[in-house]
């Protein structure tokens, strides 16, 4: 049985093959990198001229960027989080889904081969063959392959594959961005614990000084050289400083809970590592990518670029729907009305079919879809440009913060040294009877503020360094890359 003559299908195939080189819609072009030569409007001499911390443009950023902080305890915790974080597990599953959908779209480019089998019991009415032919009910059996193929001469299916691949690439970069965020959050929470603990240690020293001052005043009171008011002032200073303990302990507890969530545990089941500020070390040199390279290193920018690629391909899919669709199918089968004779010689049959479907009138729906796809592409371009601007702003902010941190650190160190000397001399003067208790308390307050301020700026400088490393992006951590689905 022939549904369409062979010469007709051959003509259709020849026409489709000539048109198959066409691909509808715009081709994606990677956006050019920004032409900026630096991140800030003014140079940052404090970061490039001071010997304590230098930025090197030629220094590569390691995939395990957190190792630059020199804390084995942090290294182990980050590795644990990259393996156990549930958000990363969800991102891996979404990536695997997108990759499988890409395979589905890619399969549509090739001929589809199926095996068809049918069993039927039929009876034709009198009007089917005429009143002179009366066929009794009969059985029919058939089995054979069926092959079909739709010519992609407008490129719609190829654009669909391109779109799915771009979406999968976007999810790949989103996985890398999520891993970067998880590792950064672990480092920030670890530093929050270490900084708060260092402040607690400093505050314990302050409280010890308060006890010492109180004892000095008590001795002076017993000797008749101090008053009850002096004792109350010293006790008030001690009580006020003790109020600083609960907020720091709360800060540590909250950071510990956040760290447990990051590694995939409940706060009750996770023994939080006891991070100390002294175990972290800043490298002498920090990597700094040049502005033109940042767009190729930040996973969020790469994800936005992939989304732009997918949106551009979607325009091609919508444009291809404006063109006719040509399809061919062929069927070969064995047919019989007796099951036992189905495979006998002479029971074979075949059919060749060609089809053409062209849009004629849809009240502008296809054109509207194409325009909507163009609008989505323009929106994706704006999102990409915003991602680049945000990345440059984050790097600039981090550089400025590090610049001011180093300046503030030098000031806090000087203030602490001066206030410590002043407190020691004031106590000696008070013991000798040359100073009052208010002078001792004032000197001790200044020393307390300088001590806590020094600890805070030390912790803040580590956190700002982490923010810079995160803003620079980098390669995906090996723990994530090794577990990326197909």
Q: What confidence score (pLDDT) does residue 142 get?
A: 84
Task: Give percent of the chain with pLDDT exceeding 90.
Answer: 33
| 431-437 own/partner pairs: CB under 8 Å, 24+ apart | 431/216, 433/225, 436/230, 437/213, 437/217, 437/220, 437/226, 437/230, 437/233, 437/234
Task: Give percent of the chain with pLDDT exceeding 70.
Answer: 88
> What mean pLDDT is predicted for residues 300-325?
93
**Phi, psi (rounded to 5 degrees) for 226:** -135, 160
Distance, CA of 401 to CA of 382 (rounded, Å) = 28
Task: Give which of 162, 163, 166, 249 is closest to 203, Cα–Cα.
Answer: 249
In the beta sheet, which residues pair with residue 146? 114, 331
Residues with Cβ < 8 Å from 73, sequence gap 6 or more? Answer: 190, 273, 275, 279
CATH class of 10-112+156-324+367-481: mainly alpha
Confidence band of 2 (pLDDT split at 50, 70, 90): very low
Residue in the block written with tokens 């890409």: 102
> What residue segments make up the domains of the chain, in order of their start?
10-112+156-324+367-481
Confidence band of 452 (pLDDT split at 50, 70, 90): confident
In the beta sheet, which residues pair with residue 356? 326
> What mean pLDDT is predicted for residues 17-25?
62
Q: What confidence score (pLDDT) does residue 446 get?
A: 85
Task: Give which of 305, 307, 299, 304 is closest to 470, Cα–Cα.
Answer: 299
Higher pLDDT, 16 or 355: 355
Query: End-to-end CA distance of the chain, in Å?
Result: 45
> What mean pLDDT is predicted for residues 277-295?
83
Q: What confidence score (pLDDT) does residue 51 get?
A: 46
Distance, CA of 262 to CA of 85 (rounded, Å) = 6
pLDDT of 329 above 70: yes
Distance, CA of 2 to CA of 337 (rounded, Å) = 20
Distance, CA of 127 to CA of 125 (rounded, Å) = 6
pLDDT digits (tens, 9 = 90+) for 108-163: 888 998 888 888 888 777 666 666 777 778 777 888 889 998 888 888 889 999 99
pLDDT of 480 above 60: no
pLDDT of 105 above 50: yes
**Phi, psi (rounded to 5 degrees) for 417:** -65, -45
> What mean pLDDT is predicted for residues 290-317?
90
Mean pLDDT value across the chain: 83
List the single range of 9-13, 248-252, 330-334, 421-425 with lowest mean pLDDT: 9-13
Confidence band of 263 (pLDDT split at 50, 70, 90): very high
């Amino acid at each position: 049985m022939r549904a369409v003559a062979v010469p007709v299908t051959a003509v259709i195939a020849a026409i489709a093959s000539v048109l198959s080189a066409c691909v509808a819609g715009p081709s994606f072009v990677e956006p050019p990198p920004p032409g900026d030569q630096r991140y800030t409007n003014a140079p940052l001499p404090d970061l490039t001229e001071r010997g304590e911390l230098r930025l090197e443009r030629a220094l590569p950023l390691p995939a395990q960027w957190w190792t630059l902080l020199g804390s084995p305890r942090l290294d182990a915790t980050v590795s644990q989080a990259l393996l156990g974080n549930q958000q990363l597990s969800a991102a891996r599953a979404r990536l695997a889904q997108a990759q499988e959908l890409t395979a589905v779209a890619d399969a549509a480019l090739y001929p589809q081969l199926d095996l068809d089998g049918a069993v039927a019991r039929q009876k034709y009415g009198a009007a089917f063959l005429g009143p002179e032919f009366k066929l009794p009910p009969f059985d029919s059996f058939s089995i054979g392959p069926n092959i079909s193929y739709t010519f992609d001469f407008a490129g719609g299916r190829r654009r669909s594959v391109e779109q799915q691949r771009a979406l999968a690439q976007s999810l790949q970069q989103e996985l890398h961005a999520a891993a970067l965020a998880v590792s950064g959050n672990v480092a920030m929470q670890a530093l929050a614990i270490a900084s708060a603990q260092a402040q607690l240690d400093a505050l314990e020293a302050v409280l010890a000084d308060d006890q010492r001052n109180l004892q000095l005043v008590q001795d002076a009171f017993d000797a008749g050289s101090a008053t009850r008011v002096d004792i109350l002032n010293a006790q008030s200073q001690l009580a006020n400083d003790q109020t600083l303990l609960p907020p720091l302990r709360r800060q540590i507890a909250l950071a510990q809970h956040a760290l447990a969530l990051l590694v995939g545990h409940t706060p009750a089941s996770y023994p939080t590592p006891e991070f100390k500020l002294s175990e972290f070390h800043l490298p002498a040199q920090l990597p700094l990518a040049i502005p033109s390279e940042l767009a190729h290193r930040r996973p969020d920018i790469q994800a936005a670029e992939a989304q732009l690629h997918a949106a551009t391909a979607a325009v091609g899919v919508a444009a291809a729907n404006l063109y006719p669709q040509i399809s061919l199918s062929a069927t070969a089968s064995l047919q019989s009305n007796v099951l036992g004779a189905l495979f006998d010689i002479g029971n074979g049959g075949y059919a060749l079919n060609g089809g053409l479907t062209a849009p004629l009138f849809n009240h502008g729906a296809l054109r509207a879809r194409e325009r909507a796809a163009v609008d989505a592409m323009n929106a994706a371009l704006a999102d990409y440009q915003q991602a680049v601007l945000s990345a440059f702003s984050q790097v600039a902010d981090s550089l400025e913060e590090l610049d001011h941190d180093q300046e503030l650190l030098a000031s806090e160190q000087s203030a602490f040294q001066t206030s410590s000397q002043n407190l020691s001399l004031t106590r000696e003067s008070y013991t000798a009877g040359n100073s009052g208790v208010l002078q001792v308390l004032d000197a001790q307050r200044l020393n307390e503020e300088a001590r806590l301020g020094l600890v805070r700026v030390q912790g803040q400088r580590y956190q700002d360094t982490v923010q810079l490393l995160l803003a620079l992006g980098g390669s995906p951590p090996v723990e994530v890359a090794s577990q990326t689905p197909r």
